[in-house]
Structure 1
Amino acid sequence: MDVTRSSSSTPDRGSIAPVSLASVERFDHDVDVVVVGFGCAGAAAALEAATAGADVVVLERLSAPGGSSAQSGGEIYLGGGTPVQKACGFEDSADDMYAYLHAALGPHVDERKLRLYCDESVQHFEWLRQHGISFQESMYDAPTWVPPTTDGLMWLGENAWPYDTLARPAPRGHRPPTGDYGGWLLMEKLVAAVGAAGGRTHPDSRATALVVDEASRVVGVAARQFGQEVCYRARKGVILTTGGFVDNEEMLGAHAPVLLGHGKVSDGGDDGSGIRMACALGAATRRMSAVQAALIAPPSLVYRGMLVNALGQRFINEDGYPGVYSQRALLHEPAPWWVIIDQEGFEAVAVAEAPGLQPQHVAETAAELGEELGLPPGALQNTVTIYNRHAAEGEDPYFHKNAKWLRELEGPLAAVDPRILGVSAATKTGIAGFTLGGLHTTVDGAVLHVSGQPIPGLYAAGRATSGIHGEGYVSGTSLGDGTFFGRRAGRAAALPASR
């Protein structure tokens, strides 16, 4: 159907200015709820809205659903005593889950959202299973980004210092039954569930602006499909699930410059467009400087050895969630960073977990290796000597690395350079990351105006929002936050528009 809006209402391709309802002569599509973006948050929102009886259309800028969610590891952070946890022999509670996440995602978490997320985690687990997402009742028992196995449960730092002193440790990373990256399987199941519930998908549809009536209520979306302008009426609400803004260099420079020059963890479409469209209506944002970083080195190398900064010094316990030491390196430690490992530790990883990996620097002693790396004279030798003495005593008093992973490092020693490993991630810094900040929303996904009041008809979920996170991150909390609060946004948007 041809678009029949007046020329004055047609935004240019770079504009995010809202379109007035009065200037729209005709809508091409008339539905209850329009969801913009088809990652995990969009899928959950569309599924719940359709289940509630709403007529739902999901706009996806790419040719197929999935987004960054489909390229993720696939783990979802769930706890409080799920059947998988119990089957693997772990007791857990919502309070222990909350205590860990409050510390790990902090400081400055959204306490109301986090409390709700933890209290309803078991119910959310069952919702996921109801829609075809299964979890094998087995455990992967080592720190990692993504397990190479089909195990359904993994540690995400809960058993590492200092978090093991704050709450009873329990693994909460729940994974779909596929080795390595499993986000594709998660999205495959959610997309199928949306279709089964009656939700429709319009791919190759890039939202360009929100349509508002005279009372400043969001009543639709303007979009482009194959170069043509198309307009959607949303009788009940619009839900923005467009992702973060790591792919927008201008927004990074303005809000999160710490990631400038580093690699990007995204599908290439996290351009902040949904955030910008909402801000054009006066939407408030929160924690826009918050980011997550990933040091590009196999965690199995890191916890078997040590991580040092440009001064040759250790700075953290290497057995924790990899994002914690990555964040610490990026924000607080001088670069470059090096993984120091001995032959026994390296061969154990290279053969089993990273075939073909080669160290960039090898020397018989720590002193020689430090000199080859250009570290301050004697620094690495001193670090290794102290580490080995403590390892022999079975205790790491400086950084509290678990004794399970403490072992004296014996020459020859190797140094692995994350900058070399990071070339494939379009960075030579050894770091890749994404943004955590976004639109300020209620627990039901209503987007708040800078005045503090909800913008009528507008909802958001996922990385387009500032969710449960403060300044920290744990794997699985994006997929968990996105699906959990996407569900709530979908239900809220499906209510009568007069609400």
Structure 2
Amino acid sequence: MAEATPIRPLSVDQVQAWDHEADVVIAGYGIAGVSAAIEAARAGADVLVLERTSGWGGAAALAGGFIYLGGGTPLQQALGFEDSPENMKAFMMAALGPGADEEKITDYCNGSVEHYNWLVDNGVPFKESFYGQPGWETPYDDGLMYSGGENAAPFNTVATPAPRGHVPQMTGKRTGEKGGGYMLMKPLVETAEELGVRHEYDMRVQRLIVDGNQVVGIVAKHYGKELAIRARTGVVLATGSFAYNKEMVQAFAPQLIGKPGASIEEHDGKSIQMAQAIGADLAHMDATEVAFFGDPQLMARGILVNARGQRYVNEDTYPGRIGQETLLRNGNQAYLVIDEAAYEEGCAADSSTPFFRFQPKWVAETVEELESDMGLPAGTLQATVEVYNRHAANGEDPVLGKKAEWCKPIGSPVAALDLRNFTAGFTLGGLRTTINSEVLHVSGEPIPGLFAAGRCTSGVCAGGYASGTSLGDGSFYGRRAGISAAKG
């Protein structure tokens, strides 16, 4: 095989021999890849999955496992929550923008109930139990939870609140190590294997093989040896985000420079660059999810202030939104101001993230003293707490809309947790795709033979995020990619 730069496409006439062949070749064995594999195999295709690591799973297997579903799923109905595709769309368009893809979100919402049933039919278990406490995820095996701030301001005035974070039932979960995401992946991989899907592990995809403008295969390295893999009907890219590509982060999402990627190191953006090399279009490359290292049980009971001593977000909302507001609009500066009684109450509550319960850095008898110790501009924190307490005494928060149940005046002694620079994130932008998971050329036309899904694409999220949208649209549009690739 002729030498070439690693990312530029290889012309098919330079391929001397094919090392592997299949109808559909899929790069990546995470949630998008396995979903594509199942549907391509069911469509009658011979399917080969190329996985960079030594086993299936990807970032999905390490995730908490939220799958963002709604519109009236059987689980929502069983637990007494009403929802509709239109209501779900209203929330998603408001929460996932600006610039959210309305066609894709409409399509996703209309197909959400069917997708839930597809997951269940493929062995993914959901427990009929709702977890209603603030949290990054449920500490138990509950199947349903609010996962995007649907029941908090400002979104609870845009659409009727309905929980849409569907979590596969998992015993013995370990947050960040083995959670609901594992129990999402395991039955799907087993289904794929039963359907005859083949896999090759330790395969690093390098570049696409083209016949004119048609994608006909992939070049991959296996322990340093370059291999040519032929795709008779289609190639599916499902290799994850570019959160661990320093150059791409610097170019497209500089707000994440120096922040640990809330992802896996294999998310290096390689497949995005491979597609770019043949003219693929991109979308929302600056968009990021932001994890905030604060415990929601504590945040809801206090107030978050920035370096000016001012509140900037309702503390009872989705913690990912708190992370975005902190990093993107407040210079990554955050302090949690909370009184002793609320702190102790929060620490006693159940939580999936007790390791985010930090000791206060400053403790004082008065807000004035606390403000001085923290080095905030004189009078700023005092004014913030005075306004907050005045309304909280009536169970109200007209400034930011925190729900009444969390509105309690801040008393004494009072403390502050130093949460500056306590964020991490992963990228949301990627290849521009159609609702059939075709990768679009910069001309606006689909690139023949090339399909993609998951975090290497720009999915339903643009500016905002809700937990479960990555696994949700990764699996949903992974299915579409497999169907489209099987057709050729």
TM-score scaled by length of structure 1: 0.93
Runs of 5+ consecutive residues of structure 1 not aligned to the other structure:
1-5, 420-428
Aligned equivalent of 1:423: none
CA–CA distance in structure 2, aligned partners of residues 21 and 360 of structure 1: 62
In structure 2, what residue type is equivalent to 1:449? H
Aligned residue for 1:467, secondary structure, equals coil
CA–CA distance in structure 1, aligned partners of residues 280 and 165 of structure 2: 33
Aligned equivalent of 1:487: 479
CA–CA distance in structure 1, aligned partners of residues 187 and 419 of structure 2: 34
Is 1:281 aligned with 2:273? no
Is 1:163 aligned with 2:155? yes
CA–CA distance in structure 1, aligned partners of residues 216 and 277 of structure 2: 15
The answer to whether the 8 A contact 1:311-1:334 is kept is no
CA–CA distance in structure 2, aligned partners of residues 69 and 11 of structure 1: 33
Within 5 Å, give how 1:190-269 maps onto structure 2.
190-213=188-211, 215-269=212-266
The answer to whether the 8 A contact 1:134-1:176 is kept is yes
Aligned equivalent of 1:49: 40
The answer to whether the 8 A contact 1:11-1:208 is kept is no
* Shift, 1:334, TM fit: 3.7
CA–CA distance in structure 2, aligned partners of residues 452 and 282 of structure 1: 10
Aligned residue for 1:103, secondary structure, equals helix
Larger CA deviation: 258-267 vs 360-369: 360-369
Provide the alpha-carbon RMSD of the alignment.
1.4
**Aligned sequence identity (%):** 51
Is 1:445 aligned with 2:437? yes
Pairs aligned (count): 477
Aligned residue for 1:473, secondary structure, equals coil
Deviations 1:55-88 (A, max 9, x none): 1111111111111111211010111111111111
* Shift, 1:133, TM fit: 0.7
Larger CA deviation: 178-187 vs 338-347: 178-187
Aligned equivalent of 1:98: 89
Aligned residue for 2:104, secondary structure, equals helix
Aligned residue for 2:139, secondary structure, equals coil
CA–CA distance in structure 1, aligned partners of residues 393 and 409 of structure 2: 6
In structure 2, what residue type is equivalent to 1:16? I
Aligned equivalent of 1:472: 464
Aligned residue for 2:250, secondary structure, equals helix
Within 5 Å, give how 1:6-21 maps onto structure 2.
6=1, 8=2, 10-11=3-4, 15-21=6-12
Aligned equivalent of 2:399: 398
CA–CA distance in structure 2, aligned partners of residues 257 and 382 of structure 1: 34
In structure 2, what residue type is equivalent to 1:283? A
CA–CA distance in structure 1, aligned partners of residues 184 and 414 of structure 2: 41
CA–CA distance in structure 1, aligned partners of residues 44 and 128 of structure 2: 34
CA–CA distance in structure 1, aligned partners of residues 364 and 271 of structure 2: 51
CA–CA distance in structure 2, aligned partners of residues 335 and 110 of structure 1: 28
Q: Which residue of 397, 416, 430 corresponds with 2:422?
A: 430
The answer to whether the 8 A contact 1:40-1:482 is kept is yes
Aligned equivalent of 2:72: 81
The answer to whether the 8 A contact 1:91-1:170 is kept is yes
TM-score scaled by length of structure 2: 0.95
Runs of 5+ consecutive residues of structure 2 not aligned to the other structure:
none
Q: Which residue of 118, 123, 143 corresponds with 2:134?
A: 143
CA–CA distance in structure 1, aligned partners of residues 373 and 25 of structure 2: 58
Aligned residue for 1:393, secondary structure, equals coil
The answer to whether the 8 A contact 1:350-1:357 is kept is no
* Shift, 1:357, TM fit: 4.0
In structure 2, what residue type is equivalent to 1:85? Q
The answer to whether the 8 A contact 1:11-1:209 is kept is no
Aligned equivalent of 1:298: 295
CA–CA distance in structure 1, aligned partners of residues 325 and 155 of structure 2: 16
Deviations 1:388-443 (A, max 9, x none): 11110111111111001111121122222235xxxxxxxxx211001111001111
CA–CA distance in structure 2, aligned partners of residues 20 and 59 of structure 1: 20
CA–CA distance in structure 2, aligned partners of residues 49 and 418 of structure 1: 46
Larger CA deviation: 364-373 vs 240-249: 364-373
Aligned equivalent of 1:184: 182
The answer to whether the 8 A contact 1:140-1:154 is kept is yes
